[in-house]
Copies of this chain bind each other. A is one copy, B any other.
Amino acid sequence: MKVFKIPEATVMRLSVYSRYLYQLGREGVETVSSGDIAKGVGVSSAQVRKDLAYFGEFGTRGVGYKVEELYNHIIKILGLDQQWNVMIVGAGKLGSALALYQGFAERGFNITTVLDVDENIIGTKLGNIEVEPLEVLETRVKERNITIGVVAVPASAAQDVTDQLIKAGVKAILNFSPRVLKVPREVVLRNVDLSVNLEVLSFNLVFNS
């Protein structure tokens, strides 16, 4: 259904809107205006309308949006009306923080498997998950129907782990290593560089002062 390109910033805001709508739904709110959403999440109402317009007409003029309907629609757009099985490779500080992060399961991401090469870590438990050796990567991807691989290994191992994940059948990679990874065109890649976030702050501290 690749019709036109949706900016990534829009996708990220949809994710934020959906959380806000979820909260409103739980509070019993039935309809909401673009202005309310804007105020609730801290963007302009023009931006909210523009973001939602990518996916067709939702609202009723003067009435606004039905909270539940809009929520369900966004969840579907984000692919969160289904479960995604996730493997984390690397059970260091970051990998284990990710494995234990409650927010993933709430949004339909099942961390099913965590792998590492360190014999002191293999066999330990992160919540309900026992860390397993890297050798079982391919077997686990196949038997657990894993679509998303999270790369939380040192830079030097990142490309090799990524190649193994893709060879095993993973369709999307979330890369936390500082290395630029090569993946085939059909694989979805997203890089999360934690220092970039601090650099956006320092840029703004300097630039806006």
Contact = CB atoms under 8 A, between A and B. Distances in A.
Contacts of A63: none
A91 B161 CA distance: 29
A163 interface: no
A199 B98 contact: no
Contacts of A101: 93-94, 194-195
Copies of this chain, tallied across the complex: 2
Interface stretch (A26-34, A64-72, A78-86, A138-146): A78-86
A96 interface: yes
Contacts of A195: 15, 101, 103-104, 106-107, 109
Interface in A150-206: 171-172, 174, 178, 180, 188, 190, 192-206
- Which of A80, A188, A193, A195 has the most C-beta atoms of chain B within 10 angstroms of its own C-beta? A195
B103 A93 contact: no
14 contacts: A15-B199, A16-B193, A77-B207, A79-B199, A86-B198, A92-B97, A94-B101, A98-B194, A101-B194, A104-B195, A148-B198, A172-B205, A174-B197, A190-B197
